[in-house]
Amino acid sequence: MTTSSASPGNGISNGVTLSSQNGQQENTSDVCVVGAGPAGVMLSALLARFGLKVELLDERPDKTAVGRADGIQPKTIETFQMLRVGDELFRTGVKVHDICMWQSSGTKSLRRLGREVHYPPSIVDVLQPYILLCHQGMVEGVFIDDLRRSGVEVQRSHSFKTYSYRDDEPQGALQISCDWAGHGEKTIFADYLVGCDGARSLVRRSIPDTYAQGTPHKSVWGVLDGELETDFPDLWSKTVVFSEEHGSVLIIPRERNMTRFYIEMKTSATPKDLGEEYVKQQARLILAPYHVEWRSVEWFGNYQVAQRVAARFSDASRRAFIAGDASHTHSPKAAQGMNTSMHDSWNLGWKLNLASRGLARDEVLLESYEHERKKIAHDLIDFDFEHANEIAAGDASRLAENFRKNTRFISGVGVEYGLNKLNLEDDGFSQGAAKPGCNLPPAKVTRYMDASPVDIQLDIPVLGQFRVYVVLGSEIGPSETSFMAALDSRLTSESSLIARVSEAAARSYQDKPRPIRIDDVYVRPERYTPVSQLITYSLITSADKKDFEIASLPPFLSKSGWTVYLDDVPNLDTQGRRCTDKWLGVLASNEVAIVTVRPDGYVGAVKRWSASESGAGESAANWLDGYFEGFLKVPTY
Amino acid sequence: MTTSSASPGNGISNGVTLSSQNGQQENTSDVCVVGAGPAGVMLSALLARFGLKVELLDERPDKTAVGRADGIQPKTIETFQMLRVGDELFRTGVKVHDICMWQSSGTKSLRRLGREVHYPPSIVDVLQPYILLCHQGMVEGVFIDDLRRSGVEVQRSHSFKTYSYRDDEPQGALQISCDWAGHGEKTIFADYLVGCDGARSLVRRSIPDTYAQGTPHKSVWGVLDGELETDFPDLWSKTVVFSEEHGSVLIIPRERNMTRFYIEMKTSATPKDLGEEYVKQQARLILAPYHVEWRSVEWFGNYQVAQRVAARFSDASRRAFIAGDASHTHSPKAAQGMNTSMHDSWNLGWKLNLASRGLARDEVLLESYEHERKKIAHDLIDFDFEHANEIAAGDASRLAENFRKNTRFISGVGVEYGLNKLNLEDDGFSQGAAKPGCNLPPAKVTRYMDASPVDIQLDIPVLGQFRVYVVLGSEIGPSETSFMAALDSRLTSESSLIARVSEAAARSYQDKPRPIRIDDVYVRPERYTPVSQLITYSLITSADKKDFEIASLPPFLSKSGWTVYLDDVPNLDTQGRRCTDKWLGVLASNEVAIVTVRPDGYVGAVKRWSASESGAGESAANWLDGYFEGFLKVPTY
Helix and strand element counts for chain B (H, E): 17, 26
Torsion of CA B221, B225, B228, B234, to 10 degrees: 70
Size of chain B, expressed as the number of residues it contains: 637
Q: Is the pLDDT of residue A518 over 80?
A: yes
Report how far Cα A529 is from the mean position of its chain's Cα atoms.
22
Per-residue confidence (pLDDT) for residue A291, from 0 to 100: 97
Collapsing DSSP states into helix, strand and coil, what is residue A150? Answer: coil
d(CA A597, CA A440): 7
Mutate to test the interface with B, among A101, A112, A522 (most CBs of B within 10 A): A522
CB atoms B96 and A237 under 8 Å: no
Nearest residue on chain A to B454, judged by CA atoms?
A: A95
Q: Would you call the peptide bond into A289 cis, given omega within 30 degrees of 0 as the criterion?
A: yes
d(CA A322, CA A173): 17
d(CA B31, CA B57): 11
Range A551-559 average pLDDT: 96
d(CA A624, CA B10): 76
Q: Would you call the peptide bond into A599 cis, given omega within 30 degrees of 0 as the criterion?
A: no
The CA-atom distances, in angstroms, between B6 and each of A2, B323, B363, B400, B637 are: 88, 22, 10, 50, 14
Q: A146-160, A324-338, A501-515: which has the minimum mean pLDDT?
A: A324-338
Q: Which residues pair with B454 in a beta bridge?
A: B445
- Contact (Cβ atoms closer than 8 angstroms) between residue A13 and residue A512: yes
Where would I find the beta strands (DSSP E) of A531-612? Answer: 535-541, 564-566, 591-597, 603-610
> What's B609-634 look like in SS3?
EECCCCCHHHHHHHHHHHHHHCCECC
Consecutive 10-residue averages of pLDDT for chain B (637 residues):
38 35 59 97 98 97 78 96 94 94 90 92 91 92 97 97 78 89 94 95 93 70 93 95 90 93 72 78 94 95 82 94 92 82 98 98 97 94 82 76 87 96 87 94 95 96 98 94 96 92 97 95 95 97 95 96 93 75 91 97 97 95 97 89
Size of chain A, expressed as the number of residues it contains: 637
Q: Count CB neighbours of B141 within 10 A.
A: 17
Collapsing DSSP states into helix, strand and coil, what is residue B423? Answer: coil
CB atoms A97 and B521 under 8 Å: no
Per-residue confidence (pLDDT) for residue B9, from 0 to 100: 42
Average pLDDT taken over every residue of chain A: 89
Distance from CA of B459 to the nearest CA of A (A): 12
CB atoms B451 and A253 under 8 Å: no
Give which of B263, B280, B602 is closest to B419, Cα–Cα. B602
Per-residue confidence (pLDDT) for residue A7, from 0 to 100: 42
Which residues of chain B lie closer than 8 angstroms to A231, CB-CB? 551
CB atoms B452 and A256 under 8 Å: no
- Contact (Cβ atoms closer than 8 angstroms) between residue B419 and residue B368: no
Q: What angle do CA B382, B388, B391 make, to 5 degrees?
A: 140
CB atoms B256 and A522 under 8 Å: yes
Q: Is the pLDDT of residue A8 over 60?
A: no
- Contact (Cβ atoms closer than 8 angstroms) between residue B42 and residue B378: no
Question: Of B117, B237, B450, which is closest to A95 when you measure between CB atoms?
Answer: B450
Band (A173; pLDDT cuts 50, 70, 90):
confident
Per-residue confidence (pLDDT) for residue A382, from 0 to 100: 87
d(CA A24, CA A160): 19
Per-residue confidence (pLDDT) for residue A589, from 0 to 100: 86
ipTM: 0.90
Which residues of chain B lie closer than 8 angstroms to A521, CB-CB? 256-257
Collapsing DSSP states into helix, strand and coil, what is residue B4? Answer: coil
Q: Which residues pair with B467 in a beta bridge?
A: B536, B597
CB atoms A521 and B94 under 8 Å: no
CB atoms B115 and A521 under 8 Å: no
- Contact (Cβ atoms closer than 8 angstroms) between residue B373 and residue B327: yes
Q: Which tens digit of pLDDT belongs to each residue from B462-514?
A: 999 999 999 999 999 999 999 999 999 998 888 899 999 999 999 999 999 99
- Say which amino acid occupies A511: D
d(CA B546, CA B231): 60
Q: Which residue has the higher pLDDT, A270 or B416?
A: B416
- Contact (Cβ atoms closer than 8 angstroms) between residue A569 and residue A578: yes
Which residues of chain A lie closer than 8 angstroms to B545, CB-CB? 115
DSSP character string of A599-612: TTSBEEEEEEEETT
Q: Which tens digit of pLDDT belongs to each residue from A362-418?
A: 999 999 999 999 999 999 988 888 887 787 777 777 878 888 889 999 999 999 999
- Contact (Cβ atoms closer than 8 angstroms) between residue A187 and residue A176: yes
- Contact (Cβ atoms closer than 8 angstroms) between residue A372 and residue A348: no
CB atoms A255 and B95 under 8 Å: no
Collapsing DSSP states into helix, strand and coil, what is residue B501? Answer: helix
Range A471-492 average pLDDT: 94
Which residues of chain B lie closer than 8 angstroms to A87, CB-CB? 87-88, 91
The CA-atom distances, in angstroms, between A497 and each of A10, A501, A532 are: 17, 6, 12
Per-residue confidence (pLDDT) for residue A216, from 0 to 100: 61
Band (A294; pLDDT cuts 50, 70, 90):
very high
Give which of A293, A274, A282 is closest to A231, Cα–Cα. A293
Give which of A338, A258, A343 is closest to A298, Cα–Cα. A258
Question: Of A117, A256, A524, which is closest to B521 when you measure between CB atoms?
Answer: A256
d(CA B365, CA B376): 17
- Say which amino acid occupies A257: N
- Contact (Cβ atoms closer than 8 angstroms) between residue A388 and residue A42: no
Q: Which residue has the higher pLDDT, B589 or A86?
A: A86
Instruction: Give the CB-side neighbour count of residue A146, counting CA atoms within 13 A.
Output: 26
Distance from CA of B568 to the nearest CA of A (A): 13
Give which of A499, A501, A503, A475 is closest to A487, Cα–Cα. A499
CB atoms A257 and B524 under 8 Å: yes
Per-residue confidence (pLDDT) for residue A245, from 0 to 100: 87
Q: Which residue has the higher pLDDT, A165 or B6?
A: A165
Q: Is the pLDDT of residue A605 over 90?
A: yes
Torsion of CA A609, A614, A616, A622, to 10 degrees: -140
d(CA A191, CA B311): 73
Q: Is the pLDDT of residue A5 over 60?
A: no
The CA-atom distances, in angstroms, between A351 and each of A362, A596, B69, B89, B117 are: 9, 16, 45, 33, 42
Q: Is the pLDDT of residue A275 over 90?
A: no
CB atoms B87 and A84 under 8 Å: no
Chain B residues within 8 Å of chain A (Cβ atoms): 84, 87-88, 91-92, 94-98, 115, 117, 130, 231, 233, 236-237, 253, 255-257, 449-453, 519, 521-522, 524, 545-546, 549-551
Which residues of chain B lie closer than 8 angstroms to A98, CB-CB? 451
Give which of A244, A198, A255, A264 is closest to A104, Cα–Cα. A244
**DSSP designation for A24:** -
pTM: 0.92
CB atoms B97 and A452 under 8 Å: yes
- Contact (Cβ atoms closer than 8 angstroms) between residue B330 and residue B387: no
Q: A126-140, A141-155, A216-230: which has the minimum mean pLDDT?
A: A216-230
Band (A4; pLDDT cuts 50, 70, 90):
very low
- Contact (Cβ atoms closer than 8 angstroms) between residue B58 and residue B153: no
Q: Which tens digit of pLDDT belongs to each residue from A557-587?
A: 999 999 999 999 876 666 678 999 999 998 9
CB atoms A95 and B236 under 8 Å: no
Band (A270; pLDDT cuts 50, 70, 90):
low
- Say which amino acid occupies A326: A
Q: Is the pLDDT of residue A259 over 90?
A: yes
d(CA A367, CA A631): 10
